[in-house]
Amino acid sequence: MYQYDDYDRRIVFERAHQFRDQVARRIDGAITEEEFRPLRLQNGLYLQLHGYMLRIAIPYGLLASKQLRMLAHITRTYDRGYAHFTTRQNLQLNWPKLADVPAILEALASVEMHAIQTSGNCVRNITSDPFAGVATDEDVDPRPYCEILRQWSTFHPEFAHLPRKFKIAVTGSANDRAAIAVHDIGLRVKRNEAGELGFVFYVGGGQGRTPVLAEQLHPFVLERDLLGYTAAVLRVYNQLGRRDNIYKARIKILVKETGIAAFRSLVEAEFARIQEEGALALDEGEVARITKHFAPPAYDSVRATRDGLLLSKDRELARFVEGNVLAHRTPGYGIVQLSLKGADLPPGDASADQMDAVADLADRFSMGRIVVTHRQNLVLTDVRLDEMAALHSELIRLGLSSPNVGRLTDIVACPGLDYCDLANARSIPIAMQLQRAFASLDRVFDLGEVTLNISGCINACGHHHIGNIGILGIDKLGEEFYQITVGGNHTEDAAIGKILGRAFAFDEVVPAVERLLTAYASIRNGKEPFLATLRRVGAGPFKEAVYGALTA
């Protein structure tokens, strides 16, 4: 994985030291909250319902074991012993004290991490496929390009004050595991027929109050023009994006209002100017230097197979492999997903002890690397299949062996009104009630592949728009209510879910989901996935089941 050079190291330490001074000046009254607020937000420090929240960047979700150990140490020392992995592959601390944050940033800098640009109207953490580099269906490893974009966009002076935040995701596979359709820029890196590397550019996707799927902006931008074309998009957005209304400030609104064809013309004109300048063309040597950091490790020759494990007499292990272990591009290895979705901790939360333990497991079983997914799970990317039983035993001990990945109880949820200042309703208790209602693994496996996402407000941090079943918390006269959507999807076949009907009160949500899934089980064909059944029969039968005789 990428290692900081002297320049990288210097800028993150300098930023931490600067913030130490800024915090001291805020505490002693030398600067006002109005002056301090943009400074703290530039360092990922938010003020939430009950305390400060620090959002730590995990570029494209990739962590070295020593970084995860440091996150555990920080969580234990400066917080309350647990932290929250987010849908943008980041980590959030829920309870840091203001005076401790500079020390946290210095601790992060010591392991090549930071919280820079995890807030504000700038280019945020670049996200990617959690199976990058090991997926069997991958055409090109997207991580070097994520890293190039990360370095280019970090502290970029021209794009530090965009109309609104800007999110970029990159995938290197036809099977999209990075949800590129709901990003401001979504990139699909691949080779064309001539064997050249390049990017399909999608633009204007997003969730929030106005969910939109990205449109194709360019069918193939050559590798050397990655930064030039991205800069062209950002320049057009920076100049024309709306700054008068926060709800209309994202690039998706600009693309919709301009029309994709006219928007494309503007970008092409800007790109032509950038090409004339020539400064942003990617240098082959630089691409090679970055790519070298992501070279495949030396794999052993391993005879075990995934099919063999599926036939294991240890049925718990077989089910774990079926649910959570995917084929690896190197025979004898598997990609292991660790579910952070159980009855004991809210979705995406991990305790400091669990983080330490996973770091140890990564060293012992997976070449010291861990990846965070946008579905709030962790991945050990390089596990020998002949060591799977040993790993599984350790995961059972740690409470991380649930084989529910991709199934109903693999619930994605934002922190909601238990923590978040923006939320209208709680997300986590709904998720935990659903965990209890669907505690039977047999039932969860019978229901097959179905995603369920919960957001506590329309900002959609829980990605409810792209859950097969989405739950959205809303405020009705000061009380928590919840809308249910169906039909969303986060993959290459992306779709925005549609609202099923009237909203439910807090206690009505889980029974409504029960009715929805009971209806699904009764009308599906064989093992037909939820989304396929919905697309075949439409929302009518589901609406009928959920609302019965009530007027939806």
Partner 1 sequence: MATTRHFVTANRLDDGSAVYLGGARTWSASFAEAAVFDTSSSALEVAWAKTRESEVCGPYTFEAEIRQDGSMKLSSRERLRRDGGDAARARLGY
**Distance between CA atoms of residues 542 and 535, nearest Å:** 11
Closer residue to partner 1, CB minimum distance, 420 or 466: 420
**Rule CB under 8 A: which of 134-173 touch partner 1?**
none
Tell me the sheet residues that pair with 189.
199
Torsion of CA 456, 461, 465, 471, to 10 degrees: -20
Contact, 95 vs 81, CB < 8 A?
no
Considering only 201, 237, 419, 520, the residue that binds partner 1 (CB under 8 A) is 419
Closer residue to partner 1, CB minimum distance, 26 or 167: 26
Residue 449 CB burial class (10 angstroms; 0-12, 13-18, ≥19) = middle
Residue 98 C-beta: closest distance to partner 1, Å: 6
Q: How far apart, in Å, are the Cα atoms of 92 and each of 43, 204, 241, 335, 371? A: 12, 26, 29, 25, 16
Which of 4-12, 14-22, 304-312, 474-482 is the region at the interface with partner 1 (rule: CB under 8 A)?
A: 474-482
Tokens matching residue 366: 């997976």
SS3 call for 108:
helix
Closer residue to partner 1, CB minimum distance, 52 or 299: 52
Considering only 80, 515, 535, 543, the residue that binds partner 1 (CB under 8 A) is 80
**Rule CB under 8 A: which of 479-518 touch partner 1?**
479-480
Neighbours of 16 (CB within 10 A): 23
Tell me the sheet residues that pair with 4.
none
SS3 call for 70:
helix
Which of 340-348, 366-374, 392-400, 512-520 is the region at the interface with partner 1 (rule: CB under 8 A)?
A: 340-348
Considering only 95, 145, 333, 530, the residue that binds partner 1 (CB under 8 A) is 95
SS3 call for 496:
coil
**Distance between CA atoms of residues 110 and 370, nearest Å:** 18
Closer residue to partner 1, CB minimum distance, 403 or 429: 429
Residue 512 C-beta: closest distance to partner 1, Å: 19
Closer residue to partner 1, CB minimum distance, 276 or 344: 344
Which of 324-332, 442-450, 471-479, 515-523 is the region at the interface with partner 1 (rule: CB under 8 A)?
A: 471-479
Nearest to 401 by CA among 385, 372, 380, 427: 380
* 330 CB-side CA count, 13 A: 18
Interface with partner 1: number of residues (CB under 8 A): 37
**Rule CB under 8 A: which of 46-75 touch partner 1?**
47-52
Site string for partner 1, 22-51 (x = CB under 8 A): ----xxxx--xx-------------xxxxx
Closer residue to partner 1, CB minimum distance, 29 or 195: 29
Which of 298-306, 329-337, 415-423, 537-545 is the region at the interface with partner 1 (rule: CB under 8 A)?
A: 415-423
Considering only 140, 146, 326, 417, the residue that binds partner 1 (CB under 8 A) is 417
Question: Phi, psi (5° rounding) for residue 469?
Answer: -120, 125
**H-helix segments, 113-219:** 143-153
**Distance between CA atoms of residues 40 and 102, nearest Å:** 10
Residue 85 C-beta: closest distance to partner 1, Å: 15
281 scored as a contact of partner 1 (CB under 8 A): no
Closer residue to partner 1, CB minimum distance, 36 or 333: 36
Closer residue to partner 1, CB minimum distance, 94 or 324: 94
**Rule CB under 8 A: which of 341-370 touch partner 1?**
344-346, 349
Q: Residues with Cβ < 8 Å from 538, sequence gap 6 or more?
A: none
How many residues does this entry show for the chain? 552
Residue 388 C-beta: closest distance to partner 1, Å: 29
Residue 551 C-beta: closest distance to partner 1, Å: 25
**Secondary structure string (H, E, C) spanning 239-292:** HHCCCCCHHHCCHHHHHHHHCHHHHHHHHHHHHHHHHHHCCCCCCHHHHHHHHH
Q: Do the strands 378-384 and 45-47 form a parallel or antiparallel pair, or are they unpaired?
A: unpaired
Closer residue to partner 1, CB minimum distance, 57 or 425: 425
SS3 call for 388:
helix
Residue 378 C-beta: closest distance to partner 1, Å: 18
Closer residue to partner 1, CB minimum distance, 383 or 432: 432
Contact, 205 vs 460, CB < 8 A?
no
Give the CA angle between residues 437, 443, 444 to the nearest 5°: 80
Closer residue to partner 1, CB minimum distance, 117 or 435: 435
**Distance between CA atoms of residues 499 and 472, nearest Å:** 10
**Rule CB under 8 A: which of 420-449 touch partner 1?**
423-426, 428-429, 432
Residue 413 C-beta: closest distance to partner 1, Å: 11
99 scored as a contact of partner 1 (CB under 8 A): yes
Residue 89 C-beta: closest distance to partner 1, Å: 23
Given the structure tokens 């009518």, which residue do they identify? 540
Closer residue to partner 1, CB minimum distance, 425 or 466: 425
Closer residue to partner 1, CB minimum distance, 78 or 155: 78
Considering only 82, 152, 159, 166, the residue that binds partner 1 (CB under 8 A) is 82
Residues that bind partner 1 (CB under 8 A): 26-29, 32-33, 47-52, 80, 82, 94-95, 97-99, 344-346, 349, 417-419, 423-426, 428-429, 432, 475, 478-480
